[in-house]
C-alpha cells in the first residue's frame, strides 16, 4: 500500500470525502429489550452494537474488583468473525480485542460518575458487525449512546474520533483502507462540553510539531460527532416526552 | 423415500439384540450399572444425593449433573448434545424435591458404541438410579428405532422397514433414526431425539413400533432387579 | 397484574394469564411472534441475514474459504456452523468460553445441515483432492428473548441462500487457485427447513409451571427432519400431533418469507 495517494490532487480522499469530512453517522438507541441500555451506530461501513447491563451487584468472578466507594466498569469487545474481509479465527480475546476492551474500560471509568454507584458493576458489551476502520471510536460513540439509554450518570458525552496525517495535512475519521496505508493514526476521546481529553492513542511516528495539528483535527471531528449524537438524543427525548404529554 | 406410502412393519432381519445388565459393579459409587444392548455397552455411576457448594445449591430441589464420557478423550459437541437428553430424562424422573440443596452426579461412560447409543445410555442410567435406590416418579424406558427403505424384487415401490434397536450398520443404512423415551405408567412420551427426513406418517408408525417394544425392555428391567434383590437375600 | 408480581411471583403471574388462555404479551398460546427477515445486511460476509422473532434478534454471516479437503472425503466441501450467545444478548450469559447452551445450539445446527442435506457437499468441491470450499456460518444472537434456535435456523438458511461463490480455476503451472469474481454462482439449497419450538405447561393445579420444551424442524414438502425433546413431563400423542401440525403450518408461513426475500 506504500506510496498510495490518500488525497487526490483535487483534494478528495479515496472514498470521495474531503480531509475534514466525517463519514455518515446513523444511530439508534434502545435496540434491545434484554439489556438495560443499548445502542447501534453506523459510521460509514463500521457498524457497532453496544449493550449495557447494570449497575448491578458484582458477578462472582469480578468480586476482587469491587470498590467500596465507587462502581467499576467491565468491558468486553467482540468482533463478528464475518465482520472483516478475512475471516477472523476468534471473535473475542485476541490481542486487539483485549486492547480495545481495556481502553474503553479506562475511557468510561473516567467519564461515568462511578461514585454514584458504590460496590456496583457496569457491563459494557460491544459487538462489531462490520469493521471498516476507526473501531475504537465507533465503539466509544456507541457505548456513550447505550449508557445514555441506560440512564447512567456521566460527566459529559464521550465522543471519539480518529485522524491521520498525509503530506502535512490531516484526515479525520479514517477508514480501513486509510488505516492500512500505514500512516500515523491518532485517536482520542473527548468530553466536548468540558473540553477535556480523557483518552488518546498514537500509533506510528510523527514530528513533534505535527501533534498539535492532529489534536485540533480530532477535537473538531469529535465536536462534529457530538453535534450529530446530541441532536439524535434530543430528538429521541422529545419523542419520548411527547408520549407523556399526550396521554 | 417420499414415494413410500405403503409402510410395513417387519421383524428385524437379525435376531433382537441381547440385553445384559450388571448392577452394583462399582463399589465406590452409590449406584452403578454396566448395561449393554447387543454390542453397545455403557457404564453408569451415580453419586447422590450428595453435598453441593453453597452458591450452586437450589433451595427447593436437587440438581442433576450428568457427565457423558466418550470412549476416549473429553466430550465433544456431539456428546454434549446427547447429554442434554439424559439430563432431561433424569431431571423429570427423579423426585428432586425430596432432596433440596443436594446434587445427583451421574457419570455415563460409553464402553462401546454399536448403534442405539442414546437409548442404551438412558436405560443404563435408569438402572444405575434403581441400583442407588433413588426415588423416581416412574421408570423411563428408552427405545431406538430406525427406518430404511428396502426395494423388493416383486414389488416396485420401496417399502419402509422399521428396525428396533438397530446396530451401527443398520443405523447408517437407514434414512432416519429415532430415539423415544416413555414412562412405564402411562406409556406417554417423555423425550425424543430424531434424525433424518421422514414423513409425519412414518414418524407415527415409528412411535407405535417403539411403544410396542417397551414391553420387552421393561420385562428385562424387572428380571434384572429381581435377580439383584434375590442375590442380596441369599447373603 | 402488576409488574411487581411478575418479578416476585413469576409462576403465579404466568398462571393467571394461562388460565385465560393468553400470554402476558397478549398472544394466544399457539400464536407465534412476528418474524422479520432481512437478507444481506453485512457486505463483508459472503452471505448474511438478520432475523427478528418478536424481540429476539439473530444475525448470521457466512464466510467462504478455500481449503484442502479431508483425505477420507476428497470431493466434499464443508459447512461449519457456530452459534454464539455473547453476554451482550442476555444477562444470563457470562464472559468466557462458549456456554453449554451455545455448544448444544451449534451441534443442533450441525445436525440440521447434515440431516436435511441443506447443501450438496459435492457442490462445494473445486478440484477433487486439492481444493474445496468451506462455509463458516457464524450465528450471533444479539437479543435473547426466547426462541433463539428458531431464529438461528431461519438466519442460517437465509444467509446460505444468499451466498454467491466466485468461480475458481487452478493455475496449472503455479498450482495456485485463481478466483474470478466476475462469475458468481449462487449456492444451491436443497430444502428450506424451519424450526418451531414449543414449551409445555403442566396442568395448572400442578406446582411446576413449565416442563420441558420441544423443537421440531420441518420443510414445506412435509418432511420432518428433527423432533427433539430433551426430557420433560410426559406428553400425549394428541399433544405431539398438535405440535407437528402447528409446525407444518408455521413452516409454510416462513417458506413464503424465504422465497419473498430471496426473489426480491
Tens of pLDDT, residue by residue over C24-74, are 888 888 889 999 999 999 999 999 999 999 999 999 999 999 999 989 989
Residue B235 has pLDDT above 80, yes or no: no
Residue C159, pLDDT above cutoff 50: yes
CB contact under 8 A, C95 and A131: no
Per-residue confidence (pLDDT) for residue B155, from 0 to 100: 60
The residue-averaged pLDDT of B211-230 equals 92
Tell me whether residue A190 is in a domain.
Answer: yes
Residue B135 has pLDDT above 50, yes or no: yes
Q: In the predicted model, what is the mean pLDDT of residues B94-99? A: 92
**Across the interface, which of C103, C104, C228 has its CB nearest the CB of B193?**
C228
Q: What confidence score (pLDDT) does residue B1 get? A: 42
Secondary structure of chain C as H, E, C letters: CCHHHHHHCHHHHHHHHHCCCECCCCCECCCCCCEEEEECCCCCCCEEEEEEECCEEEEEEEEEEEECCCCCCCCCCEEEEEEECCCCCCCCCCCCCCCHHHHHHHHHHHHHHHHHCCCCHHHHEEECCCEEEEEEEEEEEEECCCCHHHHHHHHHHHHHHCCEEEEEEEECCCCEEEEEEEEEEECCCCCCCEEEEEEEECCCCCCCCEEEEEEEEECCCCCEEEEEECCCCCECHHHHHHHHHHHHHHHHHHHHHHHHHHHC
pLDDT tier at B56, thresholds 50, 70, 90: confident
Task: State the average pLDDT over residues B164-178.
Answer: 91
pLDDT of residue A160: 96
Contact partners for chain A, using 3 or more CB pairs closer than 8 A, are: C
Is residue C31 a contact partner of residue C249, using CB atoms and an 8 Å limit? Answer: no
B158 or B143, which is more confident? B143
Best mutation target among B98, B186, B191, B205 (most C Cβ atoms within 10 Å) is B191
CB contact under 8 A, B194 and C226: yes
CATH topology of domain C32-263: Ribosomal Protein S5; domain 2 (3.30.230)
How big is the A-C interface in CB pairs under 8 Å? 88
Q: What CATH superfamily classification does B8-234 receive?
A: GHMP Kinase, N-terminal domain (3.30.230.70)
Q: How confident is the model at residue A194 (pLDDT cuts 50, 70, 90)?
A: very high
Q: List chains touching B (3+ CB pairs under 8 A).
A: C
Question: In terms of DSSP H, where are the helices of chain B?
Answer: 77-93, 117-132, 168-173, 200-234
Separation of alpha carbons C106 and C138, rounded Å: 9
| B3 — pLDDT class (breaks 50, 70, 90) | very low
Domain assignment of residue A61, given as a range: 25-245
pLDDT of residue C204: 47
Alpha carbon of C107 to those of C62, C64, C111, C221: distances in Å? 17, 20, 6, 24
Do the chains contact at B80 and C116, CB–CB below 8 Å?
no
What pLDDT, on the 0 to 100 scale, is given for residue C263?
A: 85
Provide the pLDDT for residue A117: 95
Q: How far is C224 from chain A (nearest CA, A)?
A: 31
Q: For A46-54, what is the mean pLDDT? A: 94
Distance, in angstroms, between C90 CA and closest chain A CA?
6
Indicate if the pLDDT at residue A219 is higher than 80: yes
In which band, very low, low, confident or very high, does the pLDDT at A3 lie, cut at 50, 70 and 90? Answer: low
User: Which residues of A fall within a CB distance of 8 Å from C55?
Assistant: 32-34
pLDDT at position A4: 66
**Confidence grade of residue C22 (pLDDT, cut at 50, 70, 90):** confident
Residue-wise pLDDT for A70-127, tens only, equals: 999 999 999 999 998 888 888 887 888 999 999 999 999 999 999 999 999 999 999 9
Q: Do A83 and C48 touch (CB under 8 A)?
A: no
Chain C neighbors of A129, CB-CB under 8 A: 41-42, 59
- Where residue A169 falls among pLDDT bands split at 50, 70, 90? confident
Q: Does residue A20 fall inside a structural domain?
A: no
pLDDT digits (tens, 9 = 90+) for C199-222: 887 654 444 455 778 999 999 898
Mutate to test the interface with B, among C214, C230, C243 (most CBs of B within 10 A): C230
Among B90, B191, B199, whose Cβ lies nearest the Cβ of C222? B199
Q: Is residue A165 part of a domain?
A: yes
Shortest Cα distance, chain A CAs vs residue C38, angstroms: 15
Would A15 be classed as within a structural domain? no
Q: For B206-215, b where at least 16 C-beta lie within 10 A, e where not — what string? A: bbebbbebbe
pLDDT in tens, C74-113: 999 999 999 999 999 988 888 888 899 999 999 999 999 9
Over residues A216-236, mean pLDDT? 95
Domain map of chain B by residue range?
8-234
ipTM: 0.87
Confidence of residue B223 (pLDDT cuts 50, 70, 90): very high
Amino acid at each position: 500500500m506504500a506510496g498510495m495517494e490518500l488525497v487526490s490532487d483535487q483534494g478528495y480522499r479515496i472514498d470521495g470525502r474531503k480531509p475534514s469530512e466525517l463519514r455518515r453517522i446513523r444511530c439508534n438507541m434502545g435496540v434491545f429489550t434484554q439489556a438495560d441500555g443499548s445502542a447501534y451506530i453506523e459510521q460509514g461501513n463500521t457498524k457497532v452494537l453496544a449493550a449495557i447491563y447494570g449497575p448491578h451487584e458484582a458477578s462472582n468472578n469480578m468480586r476482587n474488583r469491587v470498590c467500596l466507594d465507587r462502581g467499576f466498569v467491565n468491558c468486553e469487545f467482540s468482533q463478528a468473525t464475518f465482520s472483516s474481509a478475512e475471516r477472523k479465527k476468534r471473535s473475542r480475546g485476541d490481542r486487539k480485542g483485549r486492547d480495545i476492551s481495556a481502553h474503553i474500560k479506562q475511557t468510561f471509568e473516567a467519564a461515568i460518575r462511578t461514585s454514584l454507584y458504590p460496590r456496583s458493576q457496569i457491563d459494557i458489551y460491544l459487538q462489531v458487525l462490520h469493521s471498516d476502520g476507526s473501531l475504537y471510536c465507533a465503539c466509544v460513540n456507541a457505548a456513550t449512546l447505550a449508557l445514555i439509554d441506560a440512564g447512567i450518570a456521566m460527566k459529559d458525552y464521550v465522543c471519539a474520533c480518529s485522524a491521520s496525517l498525509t503530506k502535512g495535512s490531516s484526515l479525520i475519521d479514517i477508514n480501513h483502507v486509510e488505516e492500512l496505508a500505514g500512516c500515523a493514526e491518532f485517536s482520542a476521546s473527548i468530553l466536548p462540553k468540558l473540553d477535556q481529553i480523557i483518552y488518546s492513542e498514537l500509533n506510528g511516528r510523527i514530528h513533534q510539531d505535527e501533534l498539535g495539528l492532529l489534536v485540533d483535527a480530532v477535537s473538531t471531528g469529535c465536536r462534529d460527532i457530538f453535534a450529530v449524537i446530541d441532536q439524535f438524543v434530543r430528538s429521541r427525548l422529545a419523542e419520548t416526552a411527547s408520549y407523556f404529554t399526550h396521554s | 423415500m417420499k414415494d413410500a406410502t405403503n409402510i410395513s412393519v417387519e421383524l428385524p432381519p437379525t435376531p433382537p439384540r441381547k440385553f445384559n445388565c450388571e448392577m452394583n459393579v462399582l463399589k465406590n459409587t452409590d449406584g452403578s450399572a454396566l448395561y449393554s444392548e447387543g454390542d453397545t455397552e455403557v457404564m453408569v455411576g451415580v453419586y447422590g444425593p450428595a453435598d453441593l457448594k453453597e452458591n450452586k445449591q437450589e433451595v427447593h430441589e436437587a440438581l442433576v449433573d450428568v457427565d457423558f464420557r466418550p470412549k476416549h478423550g473429553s466430550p465433544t459437541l456431539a456428546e454434549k448434545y446427547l447429554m442434554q437428553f439424559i439430563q432431561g430424562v433424569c431431571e423429570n424422573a427423579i423426585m428432586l424435591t425430596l432432596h433440596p440443596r443436594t446434587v445427583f452426579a451421574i457419570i455415563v461412560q460409553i464402553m462401546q458404541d454399536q448403534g442405539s447409543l442414546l437409548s442404551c445410555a438412558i436405560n443404563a442410567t435408569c438402572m444405575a438410579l434403581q441400583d442407588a435406590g433413588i426415588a423416581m416418579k416412574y421408570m423411563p424406558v428408552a427405545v431406538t428405532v430406525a427406518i430404511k427403505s428396502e426395494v423388493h424384487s416383486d414389488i416396485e415401490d420401496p417399502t419402509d422397514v422399521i428396525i428396533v434397536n438397530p446396530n451401527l450398520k443398520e443405523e447408517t443404512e437407514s434414512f432416519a433414526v429415532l430415539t423415544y423415551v416413555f414412562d412405564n405408567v402411562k406409556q406417554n412420551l417423555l423425550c425424543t431425539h430424531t434424525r433424518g427426513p421422514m414423513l409425519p406418517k412414518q414418524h407415527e408408525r415409528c412411535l407405535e413400533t417403539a411403544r410396542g417394544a417397551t414391553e420387552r425392555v421393561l420385562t428385562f428391567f424387572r428380571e434384572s432387579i429381581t435377580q439383584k434383590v434375590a442375590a442380596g437375600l441369599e447373603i | 397484574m402488576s409488574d411487581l408480581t411478575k418479578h416476585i411471583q413469576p409462576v403465579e403471574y404466568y398462571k393467571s394469564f394461562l388460565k385465560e388462555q393468553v400470554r402476558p404479551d397478549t398472544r394466544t398460546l399457539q400464536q407465534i411472534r412476528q418474524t422479520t427477515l432481512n437478507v444481506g445486511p453485512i457486505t463483508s460476509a459472503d452471505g448474511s441475514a438478520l432475523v427478528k422473532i418478536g424481540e429476539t434478534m439473530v444475525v448470521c454471516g457466512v464466510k467462504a474459504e478455500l481449503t484442502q479437503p479431508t483425505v477420507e472425503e476428497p470431493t466434499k466441501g464443508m459447512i461449519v456452523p457456530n452459534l454464539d450467545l455473547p453476554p451482550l444478548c442476555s444477562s444470563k450469559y457470562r464472559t468466557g468460553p462458549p456456554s453449554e447452551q451455545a455448544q448444544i445450539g451449534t451441534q443442533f445446527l450441525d445436525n440440521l445441515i447434515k440431516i436435511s442435506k441443506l447443501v450438496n457437499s459435492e457442490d462445494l468441491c473445486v478440484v477433487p483432492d486439492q481444493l474445496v470450499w468451506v462455509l463458516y456460518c457464524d450465528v450471533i444472537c444479539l437479543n435473547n428473548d426466547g426462541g433463539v434456535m428458531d431464529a438461528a435456523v431461519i438466519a442460517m438458511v437465509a444467509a446460505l441462500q444468499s451466498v454467491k461463490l466466485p468461480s475458481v480455476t487452478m493455475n496449472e503451472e503455479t498450482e495456485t487457485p485463481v478466483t474470478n469474481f466476475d462469475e458468481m454462482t449462487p449456492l444451491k439449497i436443497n430444502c428450506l427447513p424451519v424450526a418451531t419450538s414449543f414449551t409445555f405447561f403442566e396442568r395448572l393445579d400442578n406446582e411446576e409451571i413449565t416442563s420441558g420444551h420441544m423443537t421440531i424442524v420441518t420443510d414445506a414438502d412435509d418432511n420432518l427432519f428433527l423432533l427433539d425433546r430433551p426430557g420433560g413431563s410426559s406428553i400425549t400423542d394428541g399433544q405431539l400431533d398438535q405440535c407437528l401440525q402447528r409446525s407444518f403450518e408455521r413452516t409454510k408461513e416462513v417458506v413464503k418469507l424465504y422465497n419473498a426475500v430471496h426473489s426480491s
